[in-house]
Amino acid sequence: MPWRKRDAATFGRLMDASHRSLRDDYEVSCAELDAMVEAAWRAPGVVGARMTGGGFGGCAVALVEQEQANAFSRQVSIEYQRVTGLEPSLYVCTAEAGVDIIY
C-alpha cells in the first residue's frame, strides 16, 4: 500500500485515477467539480487530486507539497473562477495521526 510506504507519488496517481473513474465510469461528477480537480492537477506542488463525498458537486481534495500550499491555493482559485465564474472556498489543512484513546 503506497500510504504505508510513504509513497506520495503513487498515492497521488491513485487519487487522479480515482477521480477519472468516478467521472467517466460512474458519472457522479459535474462540470464545476471537474474544473476544480483539473485546476488542481495543473497547480504547483500538486501530488494528486480527486472529488470527495457523494459526488454530483461538492468538494475535492488535493495532496500538495507543503511549501507550495499558498501558490497552489492562489492558482486553483484564479483558474477555477476564470473557468466557472464562481468563487471557490479553499481550505489548507494538514493530516494528523488520527484518533487515540487516552486513559
pLDDT value for 101: 82
pLDDT, mean over the chain: 92
pLDDT at 3 exceeding the cut of 60:
no
Specify the residue for cell string 473557468.
83
Across the range 74-81, mean pLDDT stands at: 98
In the chain the domains, ranked by start, together with CATH numbers, are 8-84 (3.30.70.890)
* Contacts with 52 (C-beta within 8 Å, 6 or more apart), sequence order: 58, 59, 60, 61
pLDDT at 18 exceeding the cut of 80:
yes
pLDDT value for 54: 79
Amino acid at site 71? A
* Pairing verdict, β 59-64 and 46-52: antiparallel
Q: CB count, 10 Å around CB of 43?
A: 21
pLDDT digits (tens, 9 = 90+) for 33-71: 999 999 999 999 999 999 998 777 889 999 999 999 999
